[in-house]
């Protein structure tokens, strides 16, 4: 089977494109002496001055797949895509590294029922020493506040009793 010959000799080239420099001239060379440079483009470009986006929007992009970008040569390149967000917050608790529950309760009970806060603080400190859990400062503050509020409560009760006792020492017989 024979194919028809091509419609023209293989040496025929397409007419030169106005967007490409002549093949015998380097793209970095200045234009010939008789030809002024184009006003929108410099006479020559250094490789560092070339846009990472390809030619400007008024020129076609050769071999570029995807949407046409009309970025100016001095425009800042886009930011790289952001990676996935990391996990924030305290690190995961390892074996035996949680906060002691009795230490938390000692601080809470120091305000609610102070003697219980002091007792729970002592028990929590003993557990923390043996298990290595966190919460030593919570237990210490539970102890301190438990004793302080217990002392203030005892003083308030003694003051109230003294007030009642002194108020009944006057006339008891009336007029």
**Above 70 in pLDDT, residue 91?**
no
- What confidence tens digit (pLDDT) does each residue in 146-168 have? 999 999 999 999 999 999 999 98
Distance CA 173, CA 129 (A): 63
Decide: pTM greater than 0.75. Answer: no
- What pLDDT is recorded for position 124? 96
Tens of pLDDT, residue by residue over 118-129, are: 999 999 999 999
The predicted-structure confidence for 46-62, as pLDDT tens digits, reads as follows: 555 555 665 555 555 55
Report the C-alpha gap between 19 and 70 in whole angstroms: 16
- Between CA 115 and CA 94, with CA 104 as vertex, the angle to 5 degrees is 145
């Amino acid at each position: 089977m024979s194919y028809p010959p091509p419609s023209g000799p293989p040496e025929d080239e397409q007419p030169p494109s106005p967007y490409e420099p002549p093949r015998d001239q380097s793209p970095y060379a200045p234009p010939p002496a008789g030809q002024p440079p184009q006003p929108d483009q410099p006479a020559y470009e250094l490789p560092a001055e070339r846009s990472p986006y390809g030619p400007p929007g008024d020129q076609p992009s050769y071999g570029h797949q995807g949407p046409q970008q009309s970025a100016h040569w001095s425009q800042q390149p886009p930011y790289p895509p952001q990676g996935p967000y990391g996990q924030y917050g305290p690190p995961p608790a390892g074996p035996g590294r949680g906060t002691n529950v009795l230490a938390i309760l000692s601080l809470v009970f120091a305000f609610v029922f102070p003697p219980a806060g002091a007792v729970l603080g002592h028990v929590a400190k003993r557990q923390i020493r043996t298990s290595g859990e966190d919460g030593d400062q919570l237990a210490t503050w539970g102890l301190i506040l438990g004793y302080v509020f217990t002392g203030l409560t005892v003083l308030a009760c003694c003051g109230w009793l003294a007030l009642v006792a002194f108020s009944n020492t006057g006339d008891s017989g009336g007029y």
